[in-house]
Amino acid sequence: MDEVFKALADPSRRRLLDSLNVDNGQTLRELCAGLAMARQSVSKHLAVLEAANLISTRRNGREKLHYLNAEPINAIADRWINRYHRARVHALADLKQALEASPMGDNAFVYTTYIKTTDKKLWRALTDPAFTSRYWGTTFVTDWRPGSTMVWRQQDWSSGDPEQIVLEADPYTRLAYTWHTFDPHFAATFEMNPDEVAQWAREPRSKVTFEIEPQGEIVKLTVVHDGFAPDSGVLEGIRGGWPSIVSNLKTLLETGETLPDPDPATAA
């Protein structure tokens, strides 16, 4: 955590985070123009932020896009916020909320964490119902082949829409699939507003991608959930759910235990 506090201590780096908070997924050129900072300075600051895992980067053709990443703030919050009076960590908690709840400029959610495990164990945790049921409360019925359909099951709700399919399945490297269908049974099962869920059902179907990168004794996991419409209600829902799900996944793989059961509805 020393790297996180060091990165946040610099006002220029906080300005870069503020810029991404307003408009996420910016290129180096866009960040330089928006902050009137020299390209070399911005590059150095971004390197520090990326080393602290406060930002994630992804390639889009020749461009490198930069995204806020809430994972290290979540780790700090989990370690200290519940142990001290709210007033003593007001600024830190507000930053945590901003990183998790701010609109994403390109309608995508990107979240990166580092897990002490292997790529094979992580792949199994993402695909094996025995694992997904423990940290997510969800299971999938599929053969995990690109183009195959998926049946989602949570509590007594299930969804087998033919548009729920596996998009990519490169074992131990990359997994992608379309998100589930929203229906009245989903709203009733998780006690959600049926009108809100009906609005979600009218949105384009989104997709989630898991990128797995072994790095010595740890594995870098990046979750990318994208394909949302502007002002998406589904995006607001999954933004609150993914940090809890991924934290529970990390805890399960590293300790064999899980955190308190996540609320399935928060993951939309």
For position 98, what pLDDT does the model report?
46
Of 89, 106, 123, the residue that ends a domain is 106
Question: How sure is the predictor about 239, in pLDDT bands with cuts at 50, 70 and 90?
Answer: confident
For position 78, what pLDDT does the model report?
60
65 contacts 31 by C-beta, under 8 angstroms: no
Q: Are 70 and 120 members of one domain?
A: no
CATH number (domain holding residue 145): 3.30.530.20
Of 55, 71, 106, the residue that ends a domain is 106
CB atoms within 10 A of CB 216: 6
Phi, psi of 216 (to 5 degrees): 70, -125
Q: Are 48 and 121 members of one domain?
A: no
The total domain count for the chain is 2
Distances (CA, A) of 113 to 162, 223, 240, 258: 31, 9, 16, 16
Q: Are 150 and 184 members of one domain?
A: yes
d(CA 135, CA 244): 9
CATH number (domain holding residue 69): 1.10.10.10
Q: Are 19 and 94 members of one domain?
A: yes
For residue 65, pLDDT over 80 is answered with yes
For position 139, what pLDDT does the model report?
97
d(CA 234, CA 200): 6
Domain membership of residue 92 as a residue range: 2-106
Q: Are 123 and 234 members of one domain?
A: yes
Q: Which tens digits make up the pLDDT trace of 103-145?
A: 444 688 999 999 999 999 999 999 999 999 999 999 999 999 9
Q: Are 101 and 140 members of one domain?
A: no
For position 259, what pLDDT does the model report?
59
d(CA 197, CA 182): 6
Q: Are 134 and 259 members of one domain?
A: yes
